[in-house]
Amino acid sequence: MANVILESSRGIQPVPIEDELLRKRMIFLTDDVNHNSCAELIVKLMYLDSLDSNDEITLYINSPGGNVQDGLAVYDLMKLIKSPIRTVCVGTCASMGAIIFLGGGRREMMAHGKIMIHDPAFGGNHDIGGMKSQEIQAQLDDLNRCRESLASIISERTGKSLKEIYKVTAHDTYFTAEEAITFGLATGLMEG
């Protein structure tokens, strides 16, 4: 990552841009939702909350989504910490990226941002070849529990009924910034 040059009592020194933005309580999810990206987010959220639990944290998101459990760990922490969290959709918040976006109290969209929500699917590691019917059913039951959990989050944050959410998430549904605001996914457009 690039550096910025800052002048301090120690003289002029290069500082990573990410460190300077973290100091200003700005953090980023610009990758897949996975173990590493979520572990980094969790550490940063906890650190900023420990510094000042009254000051807002801004989380900028441009993510294609990814692992449900890792994303839910971030979502749960966002609801648990005391610092107010503002999420900003920069580009696309898709799938689990959208769920993390929904964790913000203020949820803002850039003018050309998009949000995509859908039902969860089996990841690439699931091969049912050679599995018994009970094993397949157990995996399907787990997937349906995950679907219910994610639909409940979307319903709670948008004010829409579960029936409406299930209809919309049955397939990949994309929302422009204005559509996301109208649907209740976002609370407003980001303004300068």
Catalytic residue annotation: 95, 118
Q: Do residues 117 and 185 make contact, with C-beta atoms less than 8 angstroms apart?
A: yes
Tokens of 13: 């020194």
Element (H, E) at 69: helix 68-80
Tokens 């639909």 correspond to what residue?
151
Angle at the Cα of 124 from the Cα atoms of 119 and 128, rounded to 5 degrees: 95
Rounded Cα distance, 100 and 65, in Å: 9
**φ/ψ of residue 25, rounded to 5:** 65, 35
44 sits in which H/E element: helix 35-51
